[in-house]
Amino acid sequence: MLKNAFLTLLSLAIAIVGGGGSVWYALKVQDGVGAIRIGQWTAFPDIGTPSADPYSKARVAREGVLALGRAEGLSFVAERDTGGAELKRECTYTIEGGFPTARFWTLYAADQSLGVVETGKPRLAGLQSYGVVRQPDNSVIISAGHHPMPGNWLLTDGFGRMYFVLTFYDTPIASSTGLSDVSLPHIVKVGCDA
């Protein structure tokens, strides 16, 4: 009798802990269902729409996100450089390449919660396309790091993991057909502060 009760309890414990824990884990990892990867950049074009998958819906409800609409823009998040290493706030990176068609774009360095990195200085850890210097072929070279650099400088600060968030506003790539032949800039590690 006691053995039966123990086995029932064991089944229930596995069901509740396993079921709840797996949902918690699935919502925690950044790389979810419905992601589109272009180089190092990941976007969730369907997040926040009624056609999103149940995991995206749960994430939206849990985190209180109000996702950008199709007519507004599309956000890409990068968490690794071209070498496959995680982005670090203490490192210097070069973000280089062409940008797809959009009215304008913004780029900022983000912490784990995807909020902008606090620099403690008046300068924001962000750049936008109206304020960047371009190469003759219209591509853009951005240097991201702690120390001022010539050209386009994206200020970062602190230590630990970092993400780059690149958002295109009023862009044709936000509609699903435009995403197939889009190329995004590369993130190359230059060096790290010891």
Partner 1 sequence: MRNFYAAMRRLLHAILLGLLGAGIVHIAVLLLVPEFSERDAWSRLSMASDLYRMTRLDAEAGGAPVVKSVDPLFYATACRFDLGEGMVRIKAPGHVPFWSVSVYDRSGHNVYSFNDHTATGGVLDAVVLTPAQMIDVRKDLPEDLQGAIFVEAPIEEGIFVIRAFVPDDSWKPIVSRFFEQSSCELQDF
Give the interface with partner 1 as residue ranges (CB under 8 A). Answer: 3, 7-8, 10-20, 22-23, 26-27, 48-50, 52, 54-55, 57-58, 60-73, 103-104, 106, 108, 113-116, 124-126, 128, 130-131, 165, 167, 169-170
Tell me the closest approach of the beta carbon of residue 8 to partner 1, in angstroms: 7
Residues 87/93, Cβ–Cβ less than 8 Å = yes
Judged by beta carbon, residue 17 or residue 85, the one nearer partner 1 is: 17
What's the rounded Cα separation, in Å, for the pair 123 and 75? 22
Q: Which residue has the tokens 């149940």?
A: 54
What's the rounded Cα separation, in Å, for the pair 95 and 142? 5
Tell me the closest approach of the beta carbon of residue 15 to partner 1, in angstroms: 3
Tell me the closest approach of the beta carbon of residue 108 to partner 1, in angstroms: 5
Tell me the closest approach of the beta carbon of residue 191 to partner 1, in angstroms: 26
Judged by beta carbon, residue 82 or residue 153, the one nearer partner 1 is: 153
Tell me the closest approach of the beta carbon of residue 160 to partner 1, in angstroms: 18
State how far the alpha carbon of 25 is from the alpha carbons of 29, 54, 72, 78, 163, in Å. Answer: 7, 14, 30, 20, 20
Judged by beta carbon, residue 85 or residue 116, the one nearer partner 1 is: 116
Q: Which residue, among 173, 188, 163, 167, has the nearest Cα to 78 in the 3D structure?
A: 163
Beta-carbon count within 10 A of 98 CB: 13
Judged by beta carbon, residue 38 or residue 67, the one nearer partner 1 is: 67
